[in-house]
Structures are given as C-alpha cells and as structure tokens.
Amino acid sequence: MITFRDVTKTYEDGTTAVQSFSLEIKEGEFFVLIGPSGCGKTTTLKMINRLHNVTDGDILIDGKSISDHNIHELRWNIGYVLQQIALFPHMTIEENISIVPELKSWKKGDISKRVDELLDLVGLDPSTYKKRKPSELSGGQQQRVGVARALAANPPIILMDEPFSALDPLSREQLQQDFLRLKEKIQKTIVFVTHDMNEALTLGDRICLMKDGETVQVGTPEEFMNQPKNDFVKSFIGNRRSVLQLPLEELLEDLQLNPPLTPAREVDSSTTLGEALAVIADEKALTIMRKGEPVGILTNDMVLHFLHVHSQEGGLV
C-alpha cells in the first residue's frame, strides 16, 4: 500500500531528519511510528502527503510514486488528524466535516448524510453536535470531530500525528479504547505517530521504532515485548516485560476475562502471560482453563489493554 524506498530527508540547514528509510505498510494496517523526540517520525509521516518533500529515494502508494500524483488529489485522498485538532473555529461541526467532500463536488444531500454517519461512528449524536461550534466541545469531543473530518471523503489512508497527546489522561484512554473498536469498522490504512510506547502497544498492528532518522526495529507488539532487538528497544519498552513472566492464574482478576461462551484454543492457567501473548498473536483469543474447567476468554486486545493500564498505574509492568 505505502512503500518507502531508501528515503532520505535533508533540510536546507544540512540537518538529516530521515536517513535511507525503507519500509512497506500493508493495506488495512494500523502502523505506528514511534521513537524519541527528533527521531524523524513526524517528518516520515508528513512526507507521505508531501507536506515535506523527499530529498532522495521515493515513496509509492499502490505502486505509484507520490511525485506523480496531483498534490491536491493526493491530499484529498489522505485523511490527516493533527495533535492540535485544527478545526476551523468560525465553522460549525457539520461545516468542518464537510470541507473535503465539498471540494470534491459531492451533492449536498450526500454530504449531510455522510456527516450524520460519521458523527454516529465517532460517538457524537448528530442532532446534538453538528450545529455547534468547536469552542462548545471538550478537547476529546473536538478530536473525535477531527477523526470524522479525516474520514469524510472516505480516503483509503489516514495519517495521525500524535492525535491524543494533548488530551488529559482519562480522555486519552477513552479515545484509545474507542479507536480500537473504530479501526475494525473503518478498514483503513492508518499511519500513526506517537512517542508513547503504551499507546503503540495498545493500538498498533505493527510498530516501527526509530532513532536518529533510521529504523531500529519493526514488528508486532508481541514481537517487541518478547523479542526486543537490542538494548535501545529494551530501554524504550522499559520494565513492562517483567509481568510477562507471571502465570495467568495470578492475573485472572486483573485481565477481566470474557465469559467462556466462544470456542477458542485452550491454555492452562499455569501458562505465563508472555507465553499466552505469543500464542494469541495467531489465535486472536484463548480459553483459559483451571483444573480442566474454562474460566474465561482472553483476547489480544485485552492483554495489550492490561499492559497499558498497569504501566500507567506504575504496577508490575
């Protein structure tokens, strides 16, 4: 879907932000770019929609170089969600969401229907919110509108640049969990920038950890947790790995298992969380057995949410 071929970005002052970067992001994938400040992750994101131009190398979308696309059509077909939200304050919520469909000459009736659909999708009642101005909404509600606006013209690609980092912890946690559910519904290729490893582990299908403009490790959350490539990856993940050594038996209450109604591969409660995480990457769900009896269903999202919450609380992870 999105292919980076030996991409380098050097600014006029001689600073190289991204160096010989090669990567392929799959269609429908939620792909996270992460790393310390100044590592080049936001520059990498902005080169996709040509907010920053590539110095050397090339970026292709569906096999076609982005330089061969009309720049306006390229950006109309890529949704973009910013940390600053950047809604137009003088426009209503409906008008903000309608901008790109209007530029693409959609019919008014189709635009109105799309606005209602998207507000419902992001958890905002259209009859309550679409005539309001951004100043009448909370930060979390404004960011939901930002997501709806990015989806308005049904683009195949969504870019998200630290979209939740300016929110308070409670709003951020809620939006992360809502977005986990939303990404299954919208079926888009999403490239998401964050500096927060908890957020990357919670949301990402795959993660690219960057340092000094280069790739350090690319893999699934499970691969990062179980197979960190080097000491830099280990230090960036932190001490979240320690809890993986504990048996599920000790974590059953905290894991908040679903009732054992759906058939899934069985593992004993003596299995460690790390062992379960490795298996669940393929299975998607596991039935936890204790003394031959099922005690509940464990899913991949539940494990990652558990790791996220406990790291925030300063617990074992």
Q: What angle do CA 130, 133, 139 make, to 5 degrees?
A: 95
Compute the distance between CA of residue 83 and CA of residue 144 in angstroms, rounded to an integer: 12
Q: What angle do CA 308, 314, 317 make, to 5 degrees?
A: 55
| DSSP-assigned letters across all residues of 184-214 | HHH--EEEEEES-HHHHHHH-SEEEEEETTE
- Of 108-112, 139-143, 256-260, 304-308, give the range with the top mean pLDDT: 108-112
pLDDT in tens, 218-243: 999 888 987 899 999 988 887 555 57
- As to burial, measured by CB atoms within 10 angstroms (0-12 exposed, 13-18 middle, 19+ buried), residue 159 is buried
- As to burial, measured by CB atoms within 10 angstroms (0-12 exposed, 13-18 middle, 19+ buried), residue 166 is middle
Compute the distance between CA of residue 190 and CA of residue 158 in angstroms, rounded to an integer: 5
Question: Percent of the chain scored above 70 by pLDDT?
Answer: 94
Mean pLDDT of 293-301: 88
pLDDT at 282: 66
Q: What are phi and psi of 38, to 5 degrees?
A: 85, 10
pLDDT at 196: 86
Q: Is 139 helix (H, G, I), strand (E, B) or coil?
A: helix
pLDDT in tens, 266-284: 999 999 887 887 777 667 7
Residue 32 near residue 203, CB atoms below 8 Å: yes
pLDDT in tens, 58-78: 999 999 999 999 999 999 999
Residue 212 near residue 180, CB atoms below 8 Å: no
CB atoms within 10 A of CB 34: 23
* Full set of structural domains in the chain with CATH: 2-239 (3.40.50.300), 242-312 (3.90.1280.20)
Stated pTM of the model = 0.78
